[in-house]
Amino acid sequence: MSDAAVHVSWWARLRSRPALVTLFALLLGFVVGALVIVTTTASVLDAWRGIFHSWSAPGHAVKLTVDNVGSAYRTMFEGAILSPSNFWHALTTGHGWPLALTPLSETLTYATPLAIASIGVGIAFQTGIFNIGANGQAILGGIAGAAVGSMIHLPMFLHLPLTLLAGLLGGVVGGMVPGLLKAYTGAHEVIVTLMFNYVVAAFLILTLLSTALQMPGQQNDISRTIDGSAQLPPLFGASSGLRVNWGLFVAAAVAVFAWWFLERSSLGFDFRVTGANPQAARASGINAKAVIVLVFAISGGLAGLAGVTQMAGTTHFVDGGFLIGNAGIGFTAITVSLLGRNRPGGIVLASLLFAALGVGGRAMQAATGIPLDLATVIQSAVVLFVATPVLVKEIFRLRTAPTAAVQLATKGWGS
Residues at the interface with another protein (CB under 8 A): 36, 40-42, 130, 132, 181, 185-188, 190-192, 194-196, 198-199, 202-203, 205-206, 209, 325-327, 331, 334-335, 338, 370-371, 373-377, 379-381, 383-384, 387-388, 390-391, 406, 408, 410-414
Which long-range CB contacts under 8 A does 368-377 form with residues at least 24 apart? 368/68, 368/71, 368/72, 368/75, 370/37, 370/41, 370/72, 373/326, 374/33, 374/36, 374/37, 374/72, 375/76, 376/326, 376/327, 377/32, 377/33, 377/36
Cβ proximity to another protein: between 229 and 337 the closer is: 337
Work out how close the CB of 92 gets to another protein at its nearest, in angstroms, rounded to a whole number.
38
Closest to 226 measured CA to CA, from 295, 299, 315, 331:
315
Cβ proximity to another protein: between 106 and 221 the closer is: 221
Work out how close the CB of 391 gets to another protein at its nearest, in angstroms, rounded to a whole number.
5
Work out how close the CB of 9 gets to another protein at its nearest, in angstroms, rounded to a whole number.
28
- DSSP letter string, 96-122: -HHHHHHHHHHHHHHHHHHHHHHHHHH
Q: Which residues in 264-310 belong to E strands, given as ranges?
A: none
Q: What are phi and psi of 398, to 5 degrees?
A: -80, 155
Cβ proximity to another protein: between 201 and 230 the closer is: 201
- DSSP letter string, 122-164: HHHHHTT---TTHHHHHHHHHHHHHHHHHH----HHHHHHHHH
Cβ proximity to another protein: between 165 and 327 the closer is: 327
Work out how close the CB of 342 gets to another protein at its nearest, in angstroms, rounded to a whole number.
12
Q: Which residues contact 374 (CB under 8 A, 6 or more apart)?
A: 33, 36, 37, 72, 361, 364
Cβ proximity to another protein: between 178 and 268 the closer is: 178
Work out how close the CB of 352 gets to another protein at its nearest, in angstroms, rounded to a whole number.
19
CA 295 vs. chain centroid, Å, equals 19
Cβ proximity to another protein: between 255 and 336 the closer is: 336
Strand partners, 319: 222
Work out how close the CB of 202 gets to another protein at its nearest, in angstroms, rounded to a whole number.
4
Work out how close the CB of 205 gets to another protein at its nearest, in angstroms, rounded to a whole number.
5
Q: At what angle do helices 189-208 and 156-185 cross, to 10 degrees?
A: 140
- Dihedral (CA of 142, 144, 147, 152) sign: negative
Cβ proximity to another protein: between 241 and 371 the closer is: 371
Closest to 294 measured CA to CA, from 172, 126, 119:
172
Work out how close the CB of 368 gets to another protein at its nearest, in angstroms, rounded to a whole number.
11
Work out how close the CB of 24 gets to another protein at its nearest, in angstroms, rounded to a whole number.
15
Cβ proximity to another protein: between 135 and 150 the closer is: 135
Strand partners, 134: none
Cβ proximity to another protein: between 132 and 292 the closer is: 132
